A and B are shown apart, each in its own frame.
Chain A
């Protein structure tokens, strides 16, 4: 009986330790303004998190999750970190959350992301450093329109030639296959 009790006690101790280890201190996030633009650099301050831990800053909106940065906390459970808000982020309401390593949400803030460069209260702009693959047309500062972006479509002579040959081959073969059979009587019968 004693070994069984000892085993149960040990399991309970291990369970409690694991439960304690997975608990996280709920912290607080602070930013200068709760409204900022896509493409801006944002200074985020965190306090009262688990000391010497790591949190992930994530923006969550209708379009999904947008991880911003993994940030280590200091011995007091605090941090101060500049993060770049993606220039490609669609404007709208988001939640800025801090996630612990196991995915637990340990702090959150409601924020509003505006189109690039529309506001910059308490934040510095980062339009000089747009996201890779984005150019000025893609990060247009004005309200959106239904006008297509001026694209320089990729074209190459071999690809275009191959496409034209394919088109001609399709039309020629297709027309040949659609031609009536030479002897309809042999082809179909009542």
Chain B
């Protein structure tokens, strides 16, 4: 059986340090993504991706079906876990310079995966069709207008026959997951062939590494299900356009903070600065020297700024943008 399943392909060694938690953050992100995919498949059986039916179907999921209600909580918590883990993974890899030759491709595919996760979190937020969703969509369509032809798919009149919400649903369940899968395949392929960027000569069998990853993943799954049971997701009232009374999901709070400070320009520039920096890292920190030191310091400052902005935006009073009303 082992031969038929080619299990000998798993009989290789990895650095023993790879069994440490800070080297397993990527694998844990993958575990969260698997939970997201499985719970999302079930939720798709209940969700109505039309502007008129979306909100009512979300309420149905939460109020009428015990399984779907629990799984919607699992979906939301797994999304938060995936984003927190992928960010922690990014910081850990940045800190140990896991992007240096020959692992530039690994880094860049990881950065693209992070962007896709943000895309999935955004489209997922909009699908709830509540007040937060309408506000998120208003910001995205305003940004899309500024982006010119690149933002065309986010315009309501991009296709006359299908509502924007339905198209975002299609993105959430097909295009973005497919792109994620393709990038994940590339990422895992590169890890398999370039190895983990862990120092030290001590080696461990990959099977033992897999065992540790499996253990940590099960703890993560248990924690996500427990969180969904204890802290089920909230839902706001059906969205009304022209108002801004909510704050975005926590992974977007740093963008919200930038918008508070610099308006629409800030909302567009903040992600541009982050992803531009991340894209340049393998080029500027190629060898030890001044450029490498500057990159390291800039990265540390950027990450600290990002976390500070998230905390600031979480505690600061809400603000409205794009000329929207703050409601009562």
Contacts and interface: CB of A to CB of B under 8 A. Distances in A.
Contacts of B245: 143-146
Interface in B57-82: 57, 59-60, 62-70
Given A91-B241, A131-B52, A167 B162 contact: no
Interface string A75-117: 0000000000010111110000000000100000000000100
Given A90-B239, A131-B52, A63 B165 contact: yes
Interface stretch (B170-178, B196-204, B301-309): B196-204
Contacts of A3: none
B137 to A, nearest CB: 7
A31 B15 CA distance: 74
A131 B157 CA distance: 25
A131 B212 contact: no
B156 A60 contact: yes
A140 interface: yes
Contact of B59 (A133, A164, A188): A133
Given A133-B60, A149-B236, A62 B212 contact: no
Contact of A151 (B62, B67, B156, B243): B62
Contacts of A88: 51-52, 55-56, 129, 238
Given A146-B318, A177-B212, A133 B57 contact: yes
B147 interface: no
B222 A187 contact: no
Interface residues of B, number: 73
Nearest to A164: B229
Interface in B132-156: 132, 134, 137-138, 141, 156
Contact of B246 (A146, A155, A175): A146
A64 B156 contact: yes
B69 A155 contact: yes
Interface string A137-155: 1111011111111011111
A85 B43 CA distance: 28
A64 B164 contact: yes
B162 A178 contact: no
B236 A147 contact: yes
Contacts of A181: 208
Interface size range on A against B: 35 or more
B62 A143 contact: no
A90 B56 contact: no
A166 B156 contact: no
Contacts, number: 196
Interface in B222-281: 222, 225-226, 228-229, 232, 234-243, 245-247
B221 interface: yes
A62 B237 contact: no
B235 A189 contact: no
B202 A143 contact: no
A103 B134 CA distance: 28
Contacts of A62: 137-138, 141, 156, 164, 241
Given A134-B238, A155-B66, A178-B212, A170 B52 contact: no
Q: Which of A103, A147, A154, A155 has the most CB of B within 10 A?
A: A154
Contacts of A153: 62-63, 69, 232
Contacts of A156: 66
A177 B214 contact: yes
Contact of A138 (B201, B203, B225, B238): B238
Given A151-B62, A154-B63, A190-B203, A178 B165 contact: no
Nearest to A159: B66
A91 B201 CA distance: 64
B195 interface: no
A18 interface: no
Nearest to A135: B59
A173 B215 CA distance: 7
Interface of B: 16, 51-53, 55-57, 59-60, 62-70, 129-132, 134, 137-138, 141, 156-157, 160-166, 201-205, 208, 211-212, 214-219, 221-222, 225-226, 228-229, 232, 234-243, 245-247, 318, 325, 327-328
Closest 3 CB pairs of A and B: A64-B163, A177-B215, A133-B56
9 contacts: A61-B241, A62-B164, A88-B56, A89-B52, A164-B229, A167-B229, A174-B217, A177-B211, A188-B203
